[in-house]
Amino acid sequence: MSITTDAFLERVKRRVTFPANGSTLNDTNLLIMADDAMREHIIPLMLSVNKEYFVVKATQAITSGTDTYDIPYRSIGRTFRELKLQNGSSTSVSNLAQYALEDEHLLGTSGIPSGFYFQGDKVVLAPCPLGTSLSLLEWYDLAPSDFVLLQDCAKVVSVSGADVTCETVPSNITSSSEIDFVQGKSGNSVISLDVDVSSVADPVISFASSTDVPTGLVAGDYICESGKTPVLQIPNELVPLLEIWTGQRILYAMSDYEGAQLLVSGAPNAEKNARSLLAPRISGESTKIVNRNGLLKGKGNGSRYRVRGGYYP
């Protein structure tokens, strides 16, 4: 079942007995409150069960002689789940160790990177990479997109090469827009992100190349402004909990403090039930533990092992 933001708003309004008129809160205000509830309650809950729900994979090309690279700006907490080095083919992949900043001078000046360290909002590879066929494989938790109404997104009807025909194209999506392709089903549903629009001739949105349009895009999916979604990007089982925390904010804004406290009194039980549904994510299999740092595996290309006084190559 797909739960759109429009449907979610109706559910929240019923839960808090929201007045049909006479309130200064419009639907946009309510969705902003839902975004806040997502960041304050739902995302930490999802991450606490550690089941890789938000994890996505990206590949960043490494430039020879450049050691500093951006952390994906849509990563939750500006963090990585894992980093690996790819040297040429996809079968030549090695682990990267995290080094202490204080040890940077011990890692050599250039070569095949064996590790990394963080510097501000950047990740620094060490030693400085040399080579033209290196790539950084990144796994990170992609932050759920901000909620918008269905009317602010283009619903896909059909796909033909670089042209996507929609039911209608809203005025906020233009030839200068950067967009996301969002699956029409609830869940971790961003199919492709931060794609530039080439031109718009309502109801057709065109892109520079057919490769910009993901192969998984089908009728019923959405094209939205980058970082926006008309579909809740969480498991349906968490929607009641999101309704509670969003409803609390609405009632506080309406100065109904007693109603807000009564509403959130059911949150602990709802959260307990949610945790039991989220973990374990698979009940029939245990996680196989691999000794990645064993003597037979090491740290991949350029591996170094620390000994007293420095590193042994």
Q: What CATH code is carried by the domain that includes residue 196?
A: 2.40.10
Query: What pTM, to 2 d.p., does this model score?
Result: 0.85
Residue 227 and residue 153 share a domain: yes
Under a CB-based contact definition with an 8 Å cutoff, are residues 217 and 191 in contact? Answer: yes
- Alpha-carbon gap, residue 26 to 28, rounded angstroms: 5
Tell me the backbone φ, ψ of residue 268, rounded to 5 degrees. -60, -40
Q: Are residues 217 and 166 in the same domain?
A: yes
Give 166's strand partners.
Answer: 156
Which of 192, 210, 231 is the C-terminal boundary of a domain?
231
How high is the pLDDT of residue 167? 97
Report the distance separating Cα 182 and Cα 274, nearest Å.
25
147 contact partners, CB below 8 Å, separation of at least 6 = 5, 8, 31, 34, 35, 228, 229, 230, 232
Domain closes at, from 194, 211, 231: 231
In this structure, the answer to whether residues 62 and 135 fall within a common structural domain is yes
Q: Looking at the structure, do residues 48 and 12 belong to the same domain, yes or no?
A: yes
Q: Which of 15, 27, 49 is nearest to 239 (CA)?
A: 15
Q: Which of 107, 51, 37 is nearest to 252 (CA)?
A: 37
pLDDT of residue 187: 79
DSSP-assigned beta bridge partners for residue 138: 58, 83
The domain of 96 spans 55-142+290-312
| Shared-domain flag, residues 214 and 240 | no
My answer on whether 258 and 302 are in the same domain is no
Q: Domain tally for the chain?
A: 3
Q: How confident is the model at residue 20, as a pLDDT?
A: 65
Beta-carbon-side half-sphere exposure of residue 283 (alpha carbons within 13 Å) = 4
pLDDT at 307: 42
Q: Across the 313 residues of the chain, what is the mean pLDDT of every consecutive 10-residue run?
A: 91 85 81 97 90 91 95 94 89 90 85 93 94 92 96 98 97 96 87 96 97 95 97 92 95 92 91 84 67 56 44 43
Q: What is the pLDDT of residue 284?
A: 67
Q: What would the DSSP string read from start to end of 144-160?
A: PPEE--GGGSEEEEEEE
Give the SS3 label for residue 2: coil
Task: Say whether both 245 and 273 belong to one domain.
Answer: yes
DSSP letter at 238 equals: G
